A = this chain, B = another copy of it.
Amino acid sequence: MAPCCVAIVGCGLIGASWAALFQHAGHTVRAWDPDTGARGGFAARVAGPLTQLQQIKTGAAPQGDLTVHDRLEDALRGAVLIQENAPENIPLKHRLYAQIEAAVPRDVIIASSTSAHPWSDLVPGMRSPDRLITAHPFNPPHLVPLVELYGPDPKVVDWAEAFYRSLGSAPVRLKKDAVGHIANRLSSALWREAVHIVADGIADVDAVDMALVNGPGLRWSVLGAHMAYHLGGGVGGMAGYLEHLGPSQQKRWDSLGSPTLDADTRARLVEGVNTEAAGRSITQLEAERDAALIELAQMRQRLAAQKD
């Protein structure tokens, strides 16, 4: 996609990660945040993700410019897409959208990074609700390719899909507005059972995480859950699987837990992750995660290049 101008509204961690991804793809980025401190530290927060992207992606377009603005209207000037990363506060987002709609032409797309809210919570009060889409990234967005898209106007979503794909991201479209989109619904379902396993005394926190990372998580990084059952059905595929093992799967579902995050369970979870962290700080753990995600991204680039 030809370089264009993109606005970042909300200069936190997600905003910084998006800005790096946009700049790295050659786009001009203009950023704004109501908080002076957030604006001041923004360029420095973008620098880390940008360096990581340079490690991963070779042959990219010349890097786009980044400017941080004191006034929202200045950041929006010339933008074809506005990536909104404001706090998960509905009245605040509504006020922001009103300000944006007053400042930009009708065809400018507003893409909300919201994790907590569905599209239908965001649009009340908007003049042109169809211009707004949810474009939910998975943390950290410059290293994890998923972007979940929902909006009612297919033309708007088509453009956004092409835009995010051109960044090297993996946009996925929802057919229907849903709380938690796809990925957080799946994460939530898995974590509920992970908490149950700990609360029920089947295994400790670190054992559950180790099982996930060395088993299903590893496989889900190359093969989806539906496709895994397709392969699990042997030559009969998914139809064979459902015929032979559907009933036992349904029975397994009935045996899954419904834990409560009560004081005892919370204490076990906190103690468990501390054991697993073994003294490593959050910053250290994030650095380890990022190093592994960079390796994975490089691996995927190699595999994709082999296919071409």
A residues touching B (Cβ–Cβ < 8 Å)? Answer: 116, 138-139, 144-146, 148, 170, 172-176, 178-194, 196-198, 200-232, 234-235, 237-239, 242, 246-250, 252-253, 255-256, 258, 260-261, 266, 269-270, 272-274, 276-277, 282, 285-286, 289, 291-293, 295-296, 299, 302-303
Contacts and interface: CB of A to CB of B under 8 A. Distances in A.
A208 to B, nearest CB: 6
Q: Is the interface of A mostly helix, strand, loop or mixed?
A: helix
- Copy number in the complex reads 2
Given A174-B207, A210-B224, A214-B145, A258 B269 contact: no
19 contacts: A116-B248, A146-B215, A174-B203, A176-B200, A176-B203, A178-B200, A179-B255, A180-B252, A180-B255, A182-B202, A186-B197, A187-B228, A188-B252, A191-B229, A216-B220, A231-B289, A239-B266, A250-B261, A296-B296
A269 B238 CA distance: 7
A238 B191 CA distance: 13
Contacts of A224: 206, 208-210, 212-213, 217, 276
A224 B239 CA distance: 31
Contact of A138 (B201, B219, B255, B285): B219
Contacts of A178: 197, 200, 202
B220 A212 contact: yes
Contacts of A255: 179-180
A214 B174 contact: no
B186 A193 contact: yes
Contact of A285 (B230, B260, B291): B230
A289 B238 contact: no
A41 to B, nearest CB: 16
Nearest to A169: B214
- Interface centre among A170, A194, A219, A230, by most chain B C-beta atoms within 10 angstroms, is A219
Contacts of A291: 303
Q: Which 9 residue pairs across A and B have the least CB separation, nearest first?
A: A209-B224, A217-B220, A146-B215, A189-B193, A221-B221, A222-B292, A170-B214, A138-B215, A146-B214
B225 A187 contact: yes
B197 A231 contact: no
A208 B221 contact: no
- Interface centre among A176, A226, A258, by most chain B C-beta atoms within 10 angstroms, is A226
